[in-house]
Amino acid sequence: MKGDVIKYQRDNIDTDVIIPGPYLKIHDYNELAKHAMEGLDKDFHSKVKEGDFIVAGRNFGCGSSREHAPIALAYSGIKAVLALSFARIFYRNAVDGAFLLPIEIDESTYNSISNEDSVEIDTEKNEIKNLTKNQTYAMKPFSELIGKIIAAGGLFNYKP
């Protein structure tokens, strides 16, 4: 999986900035995508491309349980979020709904990846290649159940 990075050098990117409260009434996924990251980055919708990745700091997706958050990002084209850590509901929504991959990275990887870098993610080798900088980083492997749900294509396709 290859893509370009949109990096937000900050912690606690919450669901209210990922998709603000007034849009919670919307359940048309493509319409939600138009408002993704609106509370933090007004230009997100115009700059995001299919296959891009977001890189961010600690506690990504904290706040509400709104599944609108991973949905808005996924339907904007985001395939994975690489963050130092994730809030629990965002994490399980992303995985169980098969919207995008929440990938935990360490501090040095976070510092090494720059905005607009091209990276390649290999979830079998648990490796992230920075094609722009010719560097390779380790990603934290998914836990057993999470890996199985991702492989199945979401919770509804997973057979316990």
Q: Which of 7, 45, 58, 129 binds another protein (CB under 8 A)?
A: 58
The site string for another protein over 71-90 (x = CB under 8 A, - otherwise) reads: --------------x-xxx-
The answer to whether the CB of 78 falls within 8 A of the CB of 100 is yes
Nearer to another protein, 27 or 49 (CB): 27
The answer to whether 24 contacts another protein (rule: CB under 8 A) is: yes
In the sheet that 2-7 helps form, which strands lie side by side, from edge to edge?
Answer: 101-104, 80-83, 53-56, 2-7, 118-122, 127-130, 135-138
Of the candidate residues 35, 53, 83, 93, the single one contacting another protein (CB under 8 A): 93
Residue 25 or 43 with smaller CB distance to another protein: 25
Residue 2 burial (CB count, 10 A): 12
The residue (of 22 and 134) whose beta carbon lies closer to another protein is 22
From its phi and psi, is residue 140 left (phi > 0), alpha (psi between -120 and 50) or beta? beta
* Residue 145 neighbours by CB distance under 10 Å: 11
Tokens of 17: 């900035």
Q: Does 102 bind another protein (CB under 8 A)?
A: no
**Which residues in this chain contact another protein in the complex, by CB under 8 A?**
12, 14, 16-17, 20-22, 24-27, 29, 39-40, 58-59, 62-68, 85, 87-89, 92-93, 96-97, 143-145, 154-156, 160
